[in-house]
Structure 1
Amino acid sequence: MKKISSLFVFLIAFACVETDNYDIPKSGSIIESQVKGTEISINSVKNNYNQETAEIYTFSGDMYFVGYVISSDKAGNFYNKLILQDAPENSQSGIQILVDENALFETYDLGRKLIIRLEGLSLWKNNGVFQLGKQNRGDVVAITPSEIDRFILRTQTISKLEPKLIDIGDFSQAILNTYVKLERVQFNRTIVRESYTFAGESFDQYDAVRQIESCQTTEISFVGTSTYADFKSIAVPDGTGSIEGVLTRNYYDDYYVLKVNSLSAMKFNAERCDPDFFECSETAVEGDYILFSENFAEITNEKKLDELGWMNRNINEGEERFVDATSNGNRTIRISGYNTGENPLEVWLVTPNIDLSKSGGEMLSFDIKASYDNGSILKVYISEDFSGNPKNANWKLLKASIPIGPTNQNGAGFTHSEIDISCLQDSVAVGFYYLGRDPDKTTTYDIDNIRINAREIISE
């Protein structure tokens, strides 16, 4: 009997021993006033990173910071990471925490206030965004499950997140890893026309991107979706509306990407804001009479185009313009902003004037291929009064099929466009207009087989 009583007393005494304030089960919450140490801001955390040396920085001392959860892995669009910003609204800074754990949303729900102990964590900049985790040689890796409670403290506070309302043109490094909202945006019309899903196409790997565009400024960017997201096979919406999510960068750090926590973050209920396209009718019929044809087979140097009456001009007097190229053994004319250093890169390629006064039933056709696509930045126009300066001409925007190419490789093939221009009576010039900017809007386009056919020749 004495042995049982002694054991009982021992257990009671052991249970009363005060434990470390930070050893708290993930399912529980801490009392914030119990947290010891020096609080610093998320901006201060990031300022420890040396942009010039790019060396991993490891924290020491009893510092911590406070953040609010803005990412959720419930729908599968985020994986092994928590993204925190410094306030539930009007946030000034955000950061990623790498965590080797699934179903983080069950413990760290949206708007949950967390306290992050910094001692022993390491900071780096990976794919353009700041991340915290554990240093493993030359990398920063996810916090292991056994160490999560040591570094990530869950408070009892849950706040309603209010996204910062911005436009695509406001995207910047300063607001990476923060919760933002875009209004009056839509998905690219080619993506909608082809009934693209968010990330369920055969060419999608890991994270898929789909181009969006602002109805207010025509700026373009991307929505990023994981191929593991539960909504990956749903078609992108065809209307105009709003979207809210976390601003980040694509895997190769080429451009900004907006990632949503779930489909409910997108509300596209209004009519599209596509520009007014010129077309004589919706049906184009190819005639037997060729009024103009260029397949670039003999263009071994783009200067030959000048001799043939074409205009190939960089509007801002830069060096880059359309150049002769070869695609799978086929000679084309090509434009790309990659590694040009030009911002903006604004180039016109305009055909010689083509006389339509003695023909009828004309159709314009051409082929375009997109590669290393980071934005749809090519448009096709037609003018009846072009005289050498594209700025002085009246241009009609054509409903061309501008393809969406792969983001990190050459396009697989060309997209064919056929446009009815039979209601135009006099001479016309066709203009291909490229508006890019290095380094984030540099899509490569190959153009081929430009042709105008007529169904009849009118005798004098």
Structure 2
Amino acid sequence: MKNIFLKSALLFSVIAGIFTSCVNDDQYDSPEIVFSADLTPTKTVKQINDGATAAVVQYAGDDIIEAYVTSSDEKGNFYKSVSFQTIPTDATAPIGFSVPIDDNTLYGEGFSPGRKVYIKLKGLYVAKVYGSLQIGSLFEGTIGRIPVNVWRNHLFPSATKVSEDSFVRPMTMAAAFTDANQNTLVELDPVQFGEGSLGRTYYDVDSGGGSTNHSVIATTGGASQVIRFSSFAPFSGNMVPSGSGKIRGVITKYQTTFQFMVRYESDINLTGPRADLFAPIGGSALVYTGAFSEPFTSYTTSNQQVFPKYINDAAVGSRYWQVKTFSGNKYIQMSSFGGTPEANRSLFIVPVDMTAANNFSFKTEAGFDNGPCLKVYYSMNYVPGSNINNATLVDITSNFVIPAGPASAYATSFTSSGVYPIPSSLTGNGYFIFEYKGNGNGGVTTTMQIDDITVN
């Protein structure tokens, strides 16, 4: 019995050693899936696309097409749908289409960008959906997802995989968002996120379907478009970048709204300086003086925001200080309330001869107050019309009393916010700066009104 035990122990040790050696050699690597489909296409994507209409039709022919993957669900921004396109040539533009599939982690099944995939059409359904070709199963009279136990009978990833750099197309915002470009891979350039997306994470507000709709806009201005981020993307909690540059992704569409979809956070390359689409305005007749009063009575236009004697700067967001009138009294006003929600930093800049001036004062009135929004600074090195971030701002807000307003109404009257004695050390031309900061996306939206700005 003792000999049997020793022999058994020895045999176990040898087997364990062999197993351990194998494990160490493999380092627990998962076996690589080999994609080797090599079919012969009998139709082109163009032929199928040209024959499709809005009517859902079951494909009866025993035909095969080939196309290249543009999307990826690896990082969770795409879900149960694969976008494809043909490879563009000098003579032909690519044709894109999508195939909804009721399965997860499709990137692990070979559906990664640049992979050539063969599609057997017989038995599938074909239609133009929201202006683009879609191929799938029938679901309640429209194109639905191909079931998980069926799609492998129709889609066959091949061994051929090309670099997406070989078929991605650089495009301007104006050119990109058309039905002809749906499901194709494009790189928008030059672009940046819209003002309403700044200071936010990629996913924060559910715009429907567990995703957030942000906006992307050309650095030259123009219409913005939706760029959509899923809550399941691992980068969804990261901050939206504020710079400008390129964004690569796939053009999609829901009903009448285009939606731009990135695959990875690395698709977003906004490392350049942000373009100022709402530049400082006014300042065409700046006068540096040590004694003046501004009651805004000389401005005849309601909502006027161009002030020749002052500079009005929408440093963040698209909103400027505006002249308003109530009960015959004129004043300037700024608010993040209403309209398209966005982050705001709006500056009203007043030129002053600091040598000649002794005191600085103003009156305020706040309304629908949900938090402090006004700060006051002076600057001695601001350059009119330039980026305010390049100037040195000295915060003097604590020298004033800026009363809070009611939560659901306006204060009954303007209140003097105090007098600031201008230090004798300040000499030469300088500026007093009123800064409003708010955010219509769940932040401060207090309405602030200023009147009777006085320097003496």
TM bucket by the smaller chain?
0.5 to 0.7
Quick check: 2:369–2:446 contact (8 Å CA) kept in 1?
no
Aligned to 2:106: 104
| 1:160 positional shift | 1.0
Change (3 A) 1:203 1:224: closer
The two structures have a TM-score, normalised by structure 1, of 0.56
Aligned to 1:87: 87
Residues 1:369 and 2:374 aligned together: no
Aligned to 1:214: 218
Change (3 A) 1:256 1:89: farther
> SS of 1:149's equivalent?
helix
| 1:291 positional shift | 4.7
Aligned to 2:228: 224
Aligned 1:5-404 pairs, distance under 5 A: 28-32=35-39, 35=40, 38-41=42-45, 43-50=46-53, 54-87=54-87, 91-106=93-108, 107-127=110-130, 129-162=132-165, 163-170=168-175, 171-192=177-198, 194=199, 196-201=200-205, 205-249=209-253, 251=254, 253-275=255-277, 276-278=279-281, 291=295, 363-366=332-335, 368-370=337-339
Change (3 A) 1:130 1:291: farther
Distance in 2 between residues matched to 1:105 and 1:61, nearest whole Å: 28
Quick check: 2:207–2:213 contact (8 Å CA) kept in 1?
no
Which deviates the most, 141-150 or 168-177? 141-150
Q: Could you list the runs of 5+ residues in structure 2 that have no partner in the other structure?
A: 1-32, 284-292, 305-321, 349-367, 385-444
| 1:85 positional shift | 0.2
> SS of 1:73's equivalent?
coil
Change (3 A) 1:108 1:422: closer
The two structures have a TM-score, normalised by structure 2, of 0.56
| 1:28 positional shift | 4.1
The amino acid of 1:453's aligned partner reads: D
CA deviation profile, 1:175-217 (whole Å, cap 9, x unmatched): 111000012211123422x3x1111346775221211221135
Change (3 A) 1:164 1:122: same
> SS of 1:174's equivalent?
helix
Over the aligned positions, Cα root-mean-square deviation in angstroms equals 4.4
Change (3 A) 1:413 1:128: farther
Change (3 A) 1:130 1:418: farther
Aligned to 2:387: none
Distance in 1 between residues matched to 2:261 and 2:210, nearest whole Å: 13
Which deviates the most, 99-108 or 132-141? 132-141
Aligned 1:365-444 pairs, distance under 5 A: 365-366=334-335, 368-370=337-339
The amino acid of 1:108's aligned partner reads: F
CA deviation profile, 1:58-78 (whole Å, cap 9, x unmatched): 211112221001111100011
Quick check: 2:68–2:114 contact (8 Å CA) kept in 1?
yes
Change (3 A) 1:189 1:208: same
Change (3 A) 1:201 1:180: same
Distance in 1 between residues matched to 2:270 and 2:186, nearest whole Å: 16
Distance in 2 between residues matched to 1:166 and 1:413, nearest whole Å: 44
Quick check: 1:97–1:132 contact (8 Å CA) kept in 2?
yes
Distance in 1 between residues matched to 2:369 and 2:64, nearest whole Å: 53
CA deviation profile, 1:32-91 (whole Å, cap 9, x unmatched): 3xx4x62122x33233333xxx32122111122210011111000111111100117775
Distance in 2 between residues matched to 1:255 and 1:414, nearest whole Å: 33
Quick check: 2:190–2:218 contact (8 Å CA) kept in 1?
yes
The amino acid of 1:265's aligned partner reads: D
| 1:277 positional shift | 2.2
The amino acid of 1:200's aligned partner reads: D
| 1:129 positional shift | 4.0
State the percentage of identical aligned residues.
21
CA deviation profile, 1:221-243 (whole Å, cap 9, x unmatched): 23211121111111111211111
CA deviation profile, 1:315-358 (whole Å, cap 9, x unmatched): xxxxxxxxxxxxxxxxxxxxxxxxxxxxxxxxxxx96899xxxx
Aligned to 2:354: none
Distance in 2 between residues matched to 1:279 and 1:417, nearest whole Å: 23
Distance in 2 between residues matched to 1:241 and 1:75, nearest whole Å: 22
Quick check: 2:323–2:333 contact (8 Å CA) kept in 1?
no
Distance in 1 between residues matched to 2:369 and 2:122, nearest whole Å: 53
Quick check: 1:365–1:419 contact (8 Å CA) kept in 2?
no
> SS of 1:210's equivalent?
strand
